[in-house]
Amino acid sequence: MEVPATLQNNVLFLSLYLPVLKLYLNKEGYNLEGKQFRRLAIQVSNFDNKKVKTTDLKECINNLTSSQVQKVVFFYKIRDHIKNTQKKGQLIIQEKVLERELEESHNIIQKEKIKEKLQELSKKIYHTNQEIFNFEEDLQKDDAEHLQLDKAIVVFKNSKITRDMINTYKLNFTERIIFSAFGGMCCLKKNRLNDRELIISKAPEPMDIIFENMEYSDFFKLIARTIFLIAISLILFGSFQLLSFIMVQEVKSQDQFQESQTIMLFYSILYSLVVAVINLAIRLFIYAGIEIEKRTTYSSYYRSLCWKVTVAQFLNSCILPVWLFIKHQAEFDTQQLLSNIFFLLVANCFVVPTFLLIDPLHIYLWFRKFLVKKFPSKYCQQQANEIFEPPALDIAEKYAAINKTVLSAMFFMPLFPQGAILEFTSIILQYWVCKYLMIKKCGFKHKVSDSFSKSMIRLAQMSPLVFTFGVIFQNYQASGGKKWFTYPIPTIIYNEIQLLDQKIKQYEEDFSYEEGLQLYGIDYDMVNPVPSLNNFDTFNSQIIQEQSLQNSQVQNIRKTIKYKLEQRQQITENEIIRFEQMQTIARNSLLSNNNNYISPKIYEYKNQNQNSQSNFNSSIQNGSKDDNSNLINFSKNDKNSNKFENQQNEFSSIEIDNNNEAVSQTQNILDWNSDINKNK
């Protein structure tokens, strides 16, 4: 007795997704959340930023949480300021390039032109500095509320308070649909503050926030995202027209060359390659236009990017061709139809890792490196460093490639069970390609929260539904469209799995604000570009004079220490303490960002330096006298004379006028002291 094809598909579906069902039922090991710092905070918006101050907002939230607010961090209108700082950095690079051309040029007329350009650049830099300074001045005024946005982060003393707020003020279904378009808001509380209704949502991770995009309104972002979706739809429509034209030509060729298998094979391969090239064009277009959405977090940025690339490429690779196959089914030979689908499946599985390996971005970066090596005089050192730095690892691209491969293989698997083998082989190839790119070609991107990975898991969980569509298409093709609506079993199973997913509880471990700060070493006010005036460039003559005075003191300290090292004289305790002061000055000079606002990475670096500085202080206080005597003995020790001379030469090779080298010099002294203690 022959087993019906529908029963075969349902058995195949169950064999594939019973492990998934078991995973959902395993509540103890699924969906556990760690100690993310965002679990200590909520985001509050829609208040009157011109009237509401920190104390007002803190008092309002304290009334809801029994005085459990740790701090309130406001967002500011810093979009223009960031543009000015970036513009200043670009102008400084142009100035360095022109200065280099001026030194290398021997033509008097050309030198005069370069000098005129330098004067114009100096004026632009001056005006840009003035705008930056004016923003700093406005920020420090008492009436600076007009620079605040109607959004703020409220940090609580315990994560339990945040969870209670989220669970108490949940969104209903309609509100969830509406507010999910604006950054994944999860709860809404109509609590009035100065005649305004507050909107309370989950806070993002501190390192995950894109501060300059906070200034855009929800209406603007909705319009921008709608326009972007329309543009993607137009590209898919153009792809549909092109594929339809190729299929019409294939039908005509089938009538003319019925006995020529080579011609029909050519059309099958051409059809699959055209689909692959259009997929690449869709990916490049989405990458170029995703900035228009103005996402407020890196996680939502990557999530939107991956979803759009995956869905658009899946529609172009599977849905549009199948639609055309159904439209021309009466004109197509069954064998030719299966040939087209087979090559589409092969292209979806193996063209993806090939495109990952020969990425146009890597080719462009390689070409720029070639130009730098060929014409080095056209670039300053900073430009060369940026060109030779490896590109960031794009995790969204890798997720999109995997998801698109899985969904495409699941869609065509009812027609070709070999699709599972092809899918597995493609995933292995993508793994090795991504590993090679990560080790050899790429750096690391900005940190993202766990919401991105959860969103990608939900995208992969659509594969049962995609398999259902494949079953429907297979039965439609086999029965001529008469019984396609009688096979809903995979859809029913998929819906049951999703219902089980919604019923699973999340187990969360409570922790306090102090524990979270100790664990991560970073907070919202640390990554906020506008916590105080110290985070900005300062166009002030008084501060410039203070910096020049500090630099002269540092140079005197260096000369004294260098002379004593050369003469092998005793270094006093006061001089070692002055080394500590020199390290502090050099670190502050290193952390002053002249081209950009203080980024989260610099804050992390600053925090690490503060920890190392505290260790340095304790070592000075506890063992400064011993280090003194040990340093004298070290200079008289014949066994260590070669090592001392090597480190003396290393110290002498350092340029005295470079402020950043003060840290490395101090580290040399500390290394010598540690070696002394070991030899003692």
CA 120 to CA 128: how far, in whole Å? 12
Q: Tell me: the pLDDT tens digits for 144-159? A: 777 888 888 888 888 8
Tokens of 410: 């699941």
Is 585 a residue whose pLDDT tops 70? no
Q: What percent of the chain has pLDDT over 70?
A: 56
Which residues, other chains included, contact 5 with Cβ-Cβ below 8 Å and sequence gap of 6+?
474, 475, 478
CA 659 to CA 550: how far, in whole Å? 10
Q: Which sequence spans correspond to the domains of the chain?
A: 36-205, 217-357+393-448, 540-679
By DSSP bridging, strand 69-76 and strand 197-202 are unpaired
Which residues, other chains included, contact 339 with Cβ-Cβ below 8 Å and sequence gap of 6+?
264, 265, 268
Note whether 388 and 369 are within 8 A (CB): yes
Report field, pTM of the whole predicted structure over 0.85: no
Who wins on pLDDT, 66 or 603? 66
Query: In whole angstroms, how far apart are CA 193 and each of 59, 168, 202, 364, 413?
Result: 10, 19, 19, 53, 57
Note whether 75 and 214 are within 8 A (CB): yes
Is 234 a residue whose pLDDT tops 90? yes
pLDDT of 575 reads: 62
Note whether 129 and 95 are within 8 A (CB): no
DSSP symbols for 357-392 = HT-HHHHHHHHHHHHHHH-GGGS-HHHHHHHHSPPB
Tokens of 615: 């260790």
pLDDT of 237 reads: 92
> Which parts of 475-553 are beta strand (E)?
none
CA 497 to CA 490: how far, in whole Å? 11
Is 396 a residue whose pLDDT tops 90? no
Is 474 a residue whose pLDDT tops 60? yes
Note whether 426 and 405 are within 8 A (CB): yes
Identity of the highest mean pLDDT range in 292-296, 343-347, 673-677: 292-296
Is 611 a residue whose pLDDT tops 50? no
CA 667 to CA 167: how far, in whole Å? 51
CA 165 to CA 187: how far, in whole Å? 9
Is 216 a residue whose pLDDT tops 60? yes
Who wins on pLDDT, 438 or 425? 425
Query: In whole angstroms, how far apart are CA 433 and each of 306, 354, 359, 463, 488?
Result: 19, 9, 11, 23, 38
pLDDT of 570 reads: 59
Closest by alpha carbon to 587, among 662, 669, 670, 667? 662
The pLDDT mean for the chain works out to 68
Which band of pLDDT confidence, cut at 50, 70 and 90, is reported for residue 527? confident
Query: In whole angstroms, how far apart are CA 540 and each of 544, 557, 589, 603?
Result: 6, 26, 16, 24
| Phi, psi for residue 313 in degrees, rounded to 5 | -70, -35
Residue indicated by tokens 């906020």: 528
Is 350 a residue whose pLDDT tops 70? yes
Who wins on pLDDT, 15 or 217? 217
Strand partners, 153: 43, 73
Average pLDDT over residues 558-584: 61
User: What's the first-to-final CA gap in the chain, in angstroms?
Assistant: 90
pLDDT of 227 reads: 92
Which band of pLDDT confidence, cut at 50, 70 and 90, is reported for residue 174? low
Angle at 432 between CA 444 and CA 29, to 5 degrees: 75
Q: Tell me: the pLDDT tens digits for 373-383? A: 776 656 666 66
Closest by alpha carbon to 354, among 405, 318, 314, 282? 405
Closest by alpha carbon to 392, among 292, 523, 298? 298
Q: In what order do the strands lie in the sheet with 191-192?
A: 69-76, 148-156, 41-45, 197-202, 191-192
Note whether 169 and 81 are within 8 A (CB): no
- Residue 526, judged by CB atoms within 10 A of its CB (0-12, 13-18, 19+), counts as buried
Is 249 a residue whose pLDDT tops 90? no
Q: Which CATH class is domain 36-205?
A: alpha beta
CA 589 to CA 401: how far, in whole Å? 44
pLDDT of 285 reads: 92
Which band of pLDDT confidence, cut at 50, 70 and 90, is reported for residue 583? low
pLDDT of 236 reads: 92
Which band of pLDDT confidence, cut at 50, 70 and 90, is reported for residue 424? confident
Is 486 a residue whose pLDDT tops 60? no
Is 160 a residue whose pLDDT tops 50? yes
Q: Where are the alpha helices (DSSP H) in 568-657?
A: 573-591, 600-636, 641-652
